[in-house]
Amino acid sequence: MLVRRGDRLCMSRVSIVHVVLSVVSLLLLAKDSVAVPNLRGIAPQDERYFQTAIIKCKDGTKSFPQERLNDDFCDCVDGTDEPGTNACPESKFYCKNLQHRALVIFSSRVNDGICDCCDGSDEYDGKVTCGNTCWEAGEKSREKLKKKLGVFKDGSIIRKQDVEKSKEARHQHDEELKQAKREVKKLESVVDKLRADKEAVEKEEKRAREEKDRIEKEERERRERESAPAKEESLEAVDVSDEVEGHAEHSEITKPAEEEEEEEEVLDSALDPSNKEEDELADLTEEERGRVIASRWTGEDISDIKAKAEAESKNHPDSHDDHDDQDDSGDEADESHDDEEDDDYGHPSYGQDSLLPTSSQSLGGDESWWSKLMIGPSAILKMFGFAGREPVDISEAERIRKEFREASDKLSNTQSKVSDLENRLKQDFGKDGEFYSFYDKCFELKDKKYTYKVCPYKDATQVEGHSTTRLGRWQGFKDDYTNMVFEQGDKCWNGPERSLRVKMRCGTKLELRSVNEPSRCEYVAEFSTPALCLESRVQELEQQLVHPNVSPDNGHDEL
Amino acid sequence: MRICDRSKCSGRRSQEKGRREILDSRHSVAGRAGVSICRMMETREMDRRKPNCLVALIVLLAAAVIGADAWKKDEFKRCDQTIFCKDARNRVDGSSNWFVSEVNVTNGKVRARLIEGGEGEHVGGSLILHLSAYEEGIIRLKVKEAEAKRKRFEVPEVVVKGLEDRRLWIQRVIEKDGASMVVLAGYEVVLLHRPFQLYVRSGKETLISLNAKGLFHFEQQREKKEGEDWDESFRSHTDSRPHGPQSIGFDVSFYGAEYVYGIPERATSLALKPTKGADIVSEPYRLFNSDIFEYLHDSVFGLYGAVPFMLSHSEKRTTGFFWLNAAEMLVDVMPKEKTETAEASRIDTHWITESGSFDVFFFIGPGPKDLIRQYTTVTGTSTMPQLFATAYHQCRWNYKDEADVAQVDAGFDEHDIPYDVLWLDIEHTDGKKYFTWDSVLFPNPKDMQDKIAAKGRKMVTIVDPHIKRDSNYYIHKEAQSKGFYIKDKHGRDYDGWCWPGSSSYLDMLDPEVRSWWADKFAYSSYQGSTPSLYIWNDMNEPSVFNGPEATMPRDNIHVGEVEHRDVHNAYGYYFHMASSEGLRKRADDNDRPFVLSRSFFAGTQRVGAIWTGDNTADWDHLKVSVPMLLTLGLTGITFTGADVGGFFGNPDPELLTRWYQLGAYYPFYRGHAHLDTKRREPWLFGEPYTSLIREAIHTRYALLPYFYTLFREANLNGLPLMRPIWMEYPKEIETYAMDDQFLLGSDLLVHGVYSERATSEDVYFPGSQMWFDVRSGASYSGGHTVKVPVIPESIPAYQRAGSIIPRKDRFRRSSFQMENDPYTLVVALNSSYEAQGELYLDDGKSYDFEKGAFIHRLFTFSKGRLTSVNLAPTEKGTKQFKTPCLVERIILLGLRPKDLSAHRVLIESSGAQVPAEVGAPLLRIGYHQANSLVVRMPNVRISDDWSIKVL
């Protein structure tokens, strides 16, 4: 039977070995093949399905007589009738791989001259001779499995401890939060009281000041009556100060108009056949021109050349440059602002804004109220010079103000703590809170050029020298807590926004193991953590070690 | 540099297309300024929201659209920016003033003198004309200066060596009515004396003419006049034009023509649209090999290669014209005109070149296949590829390192998707020095190739013609010391800028340089190369980033003091030729080379494969790939493909899938992607796309025997694999401009799906016979356009009734494992229940087939019986090819219902009987039609004579 099949197959060379093997197998087959079908490529648990004289295609479309099982012609499009040959495109071949794990392979691998099964059962037409390497492979795989199991066992213990610690930490943070909230409430009432005191004192101060102003005004009016020109001057002074502020606002508003102008320029230059780029390119060296053109494909940063080209092609370098400089400085300012924001990420800012006096102090003159503030309240009081009237008790006012300030500071700090804790506690820390400790951790990996920094719940960056590129902002876990995803990173020059996917697997240490960029600006990192060492997997692996055939595992090893 | 973040700029989301245009315009002034505006705004946005950004964006978008387009155009010369072209285009009909004298016959050729001006008042020197004729309807006309100051460049290595053996010996000319006439078999050539005009006629029918419109113009080389300036500037470059004006122009008319075709390469329709005439504003078609960044999908612009060959076609006649000239050439096509004499139409064309020789060929058909045979008689037929090269190729700029290569290779196996070749782009090298490897990324290139080769697969590395000027680079050192580089106008090695930075370019016109270059591919020379490594030539226009029009200055100097302007369009061809020769040499002439090239010229078909360069991942580019490849096929170059998926940009999975489905029918089938794009290996989009793409690639693999047979046909007869419908159905006028569907060989009709979520396509079924859907077996009768339903699994594809297509239906890892797999013969019966088909096969790799080691079978179904007979020459060659392959299945489509029933069929040659059962034409889940008869395991040998009584 087998020999006949051999004939039907296309064989360029039939080795003597094969002939011998065939004869042997023929004998073997003949011995127990009285009514036994050719069960090549069928899993033991499926063998019963093929014992009947007429067998149904598994997709139910038709039936075939048993002698057509594995006869090297595809009758069922789903491959039911040809599990042991490569005749059906959709069928699968089962190799027993005794002493190792059973394997299911695509029928395209059967008799293709490449040994896929360690028992060599997929290559039986004699083109190649595959030795049985299952024992070695099994040993290797068992060793690997053992090692893996070891890691999982150790890891799962750590994980357990971590989960406990997390619970404690969480509990503690919960308590802290409650405590802090209570404190906030308390502080709020203290601050309210102090504010009332302060306002009372300040009201008195204001009254005193107004009194003083009134006196001064009268004095001034008296003097003005004596000399009219002086008045104009002082009015003018007021006007000027108005203008200063007004101008600042004005420039903000007029900027867009300038932009529009530039847009027109853009249009013009696009329509103008005397192309600007040509002029620019003309001023470049051969090398620079080459680099500019090459950059179209590569996206190389050629801003240096472009800057040069632009500078050289400008007819009125002064005005334009000024304009550009302005923009640049604007950018820088904004960027530094950016950075500040970034640094504050996760630590809500209760900065100067909340410390600024809320009551509106009218601070005349051409000095800004900022500098005035810097002088401090006592100086202000002194400056006002409460002459003639019964003065407010300055030291008392001071004390109240100080207490108020201290209490407000404390309040805002506590509020900040509350919001910090709330922010932390609302995060997703996994099924068992196993990722709780990730919250304020960052993991680093130094690769040749770059240092990669992954901060869960925050962001991921790539640092090269002094330049930091954000690979993404925290998006959360994906795929059943096996991946951490960071998206919306810095935009690529000619591509998408950068993103990073951190693939996690079980390991006893927290370790960022590798970072790759398989597609431009799409990064993939590998990360080991005990958090992924699940107890259930330990049992699975133990099972696998005992019964390697029960759960054929073709997947990737986790280590 | 950051690009404007739209979400911050405004709530309005532009369409994807708009976004691309912004991105595309990044190099334009508009784009660049736009970016800075947007950046400015983006940062400002953080402070306070301004409505102006929306306005700015709209303005910017408009500017960018114009900018992107305008910018690209501006970098390349318009006709009116070149003196010779501008002058020629402004020339009016009848302005030519040449007459013929001294007609005689010398050495079997007609020789005559052309004189300009009226009698007695000659202007300038005279020209000498030579007219010769070759077997099968080929006429050659050469015109040169009687006393040339400098010999004009004649493009070598294009015309096949054996052509002169086919020359007819012209005995005499007949002088009559002021004309000289040469009578040949079935046609005659008439040389009108005053004015000089040439007509090719067949009986009373005029086929083709030269100078009938009087645009013949021949700038004779001369001394520079006092104070004359020959410099010609374009943008920042100046061409010194040391030999002055020397352009040639003339008109060629195609009589009776409905359309003209050919003159690649450009991304436009198959039938060439008129470029000159009333109400037509267009540049002429340009043939000037250029590396065009992000080319447009519908443009007359010339791209990477050039073949100055044009065909015309009508119901009655196909004619052709070829100008062997490699200088910048421009061709205007005039709208179809009615001629005075006949009721037939005529298409006039105007051909202009900057320099070089006047050496032209006329081909008289009569049919399209005759015409292509004639053209390939002159320039050669397609080289026979190795079998692996006809399978699927996986490429990307770049597979990063050895681990990446291993992972991609494993990915195909893991998903049971076959592929044959894995490609490495420029990043595999050490600093873009070709023939070297990046020692960090590819420390063990041989091991890597061996691992791939263990599965029968191959690898390809890129080798470009720009050589890094690095004193530690052995190629550079040798080339420099041997003086093998092209020189600049001052005689120094030309130094241009390309991938490696400062680079020089090998003078591939010089046979000595080509031979030296070929030796660089020897295993001993190319470190890290193995026999499973093949080659890819890119940037061979040549692309020079800082050169005029992104190429080499025209006043650069090649061997023999030849100016680059004369060689330009053939440079890439010579480079391709030398690389191919190298692969041939390294294997002692016993392994067919595979070299893919981007640039090409007439004759490239003899050297290797061509792809359509840097296309874009959009539906328009998918669609335009068909006319582009059809045009290449018409001009002899048939081993061609477009990058599946589109090079620039990210295809969505549907586009990618449709591209894989169409690409399965391209002669050259390769997926490729730009460095900046997302990964797109077939399994990365999840289901259903992985399965759909796998199915598309399997379609290709199953058809490999048919493809290989067609490649042999191209090798023998020059016929392209991808054919316009009219090539097989020359009388069906409605197909003349059809380029959204095509024939693969004569037996498969293919129509792409060029739009998203398409549910139907209009397919025209030519001929009078039926066409059978290759998947379902459903039949459609010829002569109709049918709105056919479109399914996700496949693009519309049909087998012609009356044909037999050999397939190999078993899935494998690569074509290598299919070698001994059994065949399926798909017999599609015509209305008289007959069918015929062929199969060619050989060892798929060596040149033994040239010594007779091949099998060529003819299958015929007639009177209920399928027979196989030998088509190969009976006299035995010095080598033989044997195969143990069997026929495992015969599928018959188009039977009468009464014949469609299970029975036993007799194998007459052996007397055995096997079952025939009712089944489906395709082995796939979900396909359970019962419209075909399947003969089960006849198991006759594919190489034997046999007959099977089926009915």
The residues pairing with B785 across neighbouring beta strands, listed in sequence order, are B764
CATH number of B82-379: 2.60.40.1760
Q: For position A241, what pLDDT does the model report?
A: 42
- Calpha distance B573→B579 (Å, rounded): 10
Neighboring chain A residues of B821 at a CB cutoff of 8 Å? 10, 86
Reported in sequence order, the residue ranges of B810-902 that DSSP labels E, i.e. its strands, are: 823-828, 835-842, 854-862, 865-870, 887-893
Whether B16 contacts chain A with CB within 8 A? no
Considering the domain boundaries, does residue A468 fall inside one?
no
Among A105-109, A287-291, B576-580, B634-638, the minimum mean pLDDT is found in: A287-291
Which of 859-888 (B) contact A at CB < 8 A? 883-886, 888
Token digits of residue B154: 């004649």
Confidence of residue A524 (pLDDT cuts 50, 70, 90): very high
AA identity, residue B326: A
CB contact at 8 A, B394 and B670: yes
Is the pLDDT at A353 greater than 80? The verdict is: no
Q: Which residues in A415-548 belong to E strands, given as ranges?
A: 443-446, 451-455, 459-464, 467-478, 483-488, 499-506, 511-519, 522-529
Percent of chain A having pLDDT more than 90? 34
Measure CB to CB from residue B52 to each of A11, A259, A275 and give the nearest one.
Answer: A259
Alpha carbon of A310: minimum distance to chain B alpha carbons (Å): 10
- Do residue B28 and residue A299 have CB atoms under 8 angstroms apart? no
Residue B415 distance to chain A (closest CA, Å): 9
Nearest by CB: B37 against A262, A292, A520: A262
Distance CA A95, CA A44 (A): 10
Give the end of a domain, one of A327, A358, A390: A390
Reported as a single tens digit per residue, the pLDDT across A9-54 is 444 444 444 444 444 444 444 444 445 679 999 999 999 999 999 9
Contact B44 A260 (CB under 8 A): no
Kindly tell me if the per-residue pLDDT of A261 is higher than 70: no
ipTM value, please give it: 0.88
Residue range of the domain that includes A344: 208-390
User: Within an 8 Å CB–CB cutoff, is residue B501 touching chain A?
Assistant: yes
User: CA of B929: which chain A residue's CA is closest?
Assistant: A61
Q: Are B423 and B398 in contact (CB under 8 A)?
A: no
Query: 3-class SS at B794?
Result: strand
Burial class for B362, CB neighbours closer than 10 Å (0-12, 13-18, 19+)? buried
Q: Is B2 on the interface with A (CB under 8 A)?
A: yes
| Alpha-carbon span B835 to B743, nearest angstrom | 18
Residue B871 CB neighbour total at 10 angstroms: 13
Characterize B405-444 residue by residue with b for buried, 16 or more Cβ atoms within 10 angstroms of its Cβ, and e for exposed: beebbebbbebbbbbbbbbbbbbbbbebbbbbbbeebbee
Residue type, B205: E
Band of residue A501 on the pLDDT scale cut at 50, 70, 90: very high
Please tell me the distance from the alpha carbon of residue B506 to that of residue B466, in angstroms, as a whole number. 7
Q: Which two tokens stand for residue B169?
A: 């010996």
**Are residues A212 and A349 located together in one domain of the fold?**
yes
A266 plus A120 within the same structural domain: no
Q: Which residue has the tokens 């049919």?
A: B367
Structurally, how many domains does chain A consist of?
A: 3
Answer whether B327's CB lies under 8 Å from B356's CB: yes
CA–CA min distance A245, chain B (Å): 18
| Chain A contacts in chain B segment 410-439 (CB below 8 A) | 416, 418
Nearest residue in B to A276, CA atom: B29
A292 vs B contacts (CB less than 8 Å)? 27, 545
Pseudo-torsion of CA A314, A317, A319, A321, nearest 10°?
90
Q: In the predicted model, is pLDDT for residue A388 greater than 60? A: no
Q: B43–A330: do the CB atoms touch at under 8 Å? A: yes
CA B233 to chain centre: 32
B633, two tokens: 């096929």
Domain end, chosen from A124, A150, A172, is at A124
**A262 and B33 Cβ atoms separated by less than 8 Å:** yes
pLDDT at A217: 87
Domain final residue, candidates A320, A355, A390: A390
Q: Choose the mutation target among B2, B5, B28, B43 for the interface with A, i.e. most A CBs under 10 Å.
A: B43
For residue A464, cis peptide bond before it (omega within 30 degrees of 0): no
Q: Collapsing DSSP states into helix, strand and coil, what is residue B564?
A: helix
Alpha carbon of A62: minimum distance to chain B alpha carbons (Å):
10
Q: Give a yes or no: residue A337 inside a domain.
A: yes
Secondary element (H or E) of residue B915: strand B913-919
CA A441, A445, A451, A457 dihedral sign is negative
Catalytic residue selected from B332, B425, B488, B538:
B538
Identify the DSSP state of B314: -
| Domain assignment present for A423 | no
More confident residue, A159 or B118: A159
Residue A7 lies in a domain: yes
What distances in angstroms separate CA A91 from CA A82, A86, B924, one per listed residue? Answer: 7, 8, 11
Q: Is residue A339 part of a domain?
A: yes
Mean pLDDT, each 10-residue run in order, chain B (951 residues): 33 32 34 34 36 41 38 81 94 92 95 83 82 96 93 97 95 93 94 96 93 95 90 91 95 96 97 94 96 87 96 96 98 85 80 98 97 97 98 96 96 97 97 96 97 97 97 97 97 96 97 98 98 98 95 97 98 98 96 98 98 96 98 98 96 98 98 93 96 97 98 98 98 97 98 97 97 96 96 97 97 96 98 98 96 97 97 87 97 95 94 95 88 96 96 90
Residues of B in contact with A338 (CB under 8 A): 46
- pLDDT of amino acid A309: 60
B387-465+514-541+574-726 placed in CATH 3.40.50.300: no
Q: Do residues A110 and A219 both lie within one domain?
A: no
Residues 6+ apart with CB under 8 A from B632: B264, B265, B307, B610, B638, B640, B720
Question: Residue holding tokens 């910017």?
Answer: B60
Average pLDDT, chain A: 74
Instruction: List the catalytic residue out of B614, B695, B747, B838.
Output: B614
* Same domain membership, residue A272 and residue A239: yes
- Amino acid in the structure at residue A369: W
The amino acid present at B530, given as its one-letter code, is T
User: B33–A266: do the CB atoms touch at under 8 Å?
Assistant: yes
Residue A103, C-beta contacts closer than 8 angstroms, at least 6 positions apart: A94, A95, A97, A116, A117, A118, A552, A554
Token pair for residue A321?
């440059």
On whether any CB of chain A is under 8 Å from the CB of B603, the answer is: no
Do residues B350 and B334 touch, judged by C-beta distance below 8 A? yes
User: Which residues on adjacent β-strands are paired with residue B914?
Assistant: B905
Residue type, A274: S
DSSP A96: -
Is B34 in Cβ contact with A269 (below 8 Å)? no
User: Residues spanned by CATH 2.60.40.1760 within chain B?
Assistant: 82-379
* Confidence at residue B62, expressed as pLDDT on a 0 to 100 scale: 39
Q: What is the pLDDT of residue A520?
A: 81
Name which of A77, A276, A303 is nearest B927 (Cβ-Cβ): A77
Do A13 and A110 reside in the same domain of the chain? no
Read off the pLDDT of residues A199-224 as tens digits, 9 standing for 90 and up: 888 888 888 888 888 888 888 888 88
Q: Which of B66, B293, B497 sits opposite A286 (nearest CB)?
A: B497
Q: With contact defined as beta carbons under 8 Å apart, do B5 and A491 qualify?
A: yes
Domain limits, CATH 3.20.20.80, in chain B: 387-465+514-541+574-726
**Domain match, A49 and A28 both:** no
Q: Is the pLDDT higher at A8 or at A537?
A: A537
Mean pLDDT of A76-96: 94
**Active-site residue flag, B538:** yes
A155 in a domain, yes or no? no
The residues, ordered by sequence, that sit 6+ positions from A466 with a Cβ below 8 Å of its Cβ are none
Q: Chain B: residue nearest A261 by CA?
A: B56
Contact list, B74 vs chain A (CB under 8 Å): 273, 275, 277-278
pLDDT at A529: 94
Both A312 and A358 in a single domain? yes
Q: Are B173 and B103 in contact (CB under 8 A)?
A: yes
User: Does residue A283 register a pLDDT over 90?
Assistant: no
Q: pLDDT tier at A466 (50, 70, 90 boundaries)?
A: confident
Q: Judging by beta carbons within 10 Å of its beta carbon (0-12, 13-18, 19+), is residue B289 exposed, middle or buried?
A: buried
A100 and A18 housed in the same domain: no
* A267: nearest CB among B59, B927, B939: B59
Q: φ, ψ for residue B585 (rounded to 5)?
A: -65, -45
Based on the fold, state whether residues A99 and A227 are members of the same structural domain.
Answer: no
- In chain B, the residue whose alpha carbon lies closest to the alpha carbon of A58 is B925
| Burial group, residue A359, by CB count within 10 angstroms (0-12, 13-18, 19+) | exposed
Token code pair at residue B552: 């080499």
Q: What residue in A sits closest to B937 (Cα-Cα)?
A: A73
Does residue A98 surpass a pLDDT of 50? Answer: yes
* Distance of residue A105 Cα from the nearest chain B Cα, in angstroms: 10
Nearest C-alpha in A relative to B2: A493
Residue with tokens 């051909």: B351
Same structural domain, A9 and A93: no
Total CB pairs under 8 A between chain A and B: 226
Same domain assignment for residues A26 and A41: no
Residue A357 inside a domain? The answer is: yes
Question: Is the pLDDT at A321 greater than 50, yes or no?
Answer: no
Same domain membership, residue A12 and residue A87: no
Least confident of A225-234, A342-351, B70-79: A342-351
Give the integer Cα–Cα distance in Å for B735 and B742. 10
Question: Which part of chain B has CATH 2.60.40.1180?
Answer: 744-950
B744-950: CATH architecture: Sandwich (2.60)
**8 Å CB contact of B1 and A337:** no
* Chain B residues in contact with A335 (beta carbon < 8 A): 43
The answer to whether position A399 is within a domain reads no
**Distance (Å) from the alpha carbon of B54 to chain A's nearest alpha carbon:** 12
| Options B291, B541, B566, B581, the catalytic residue | B541
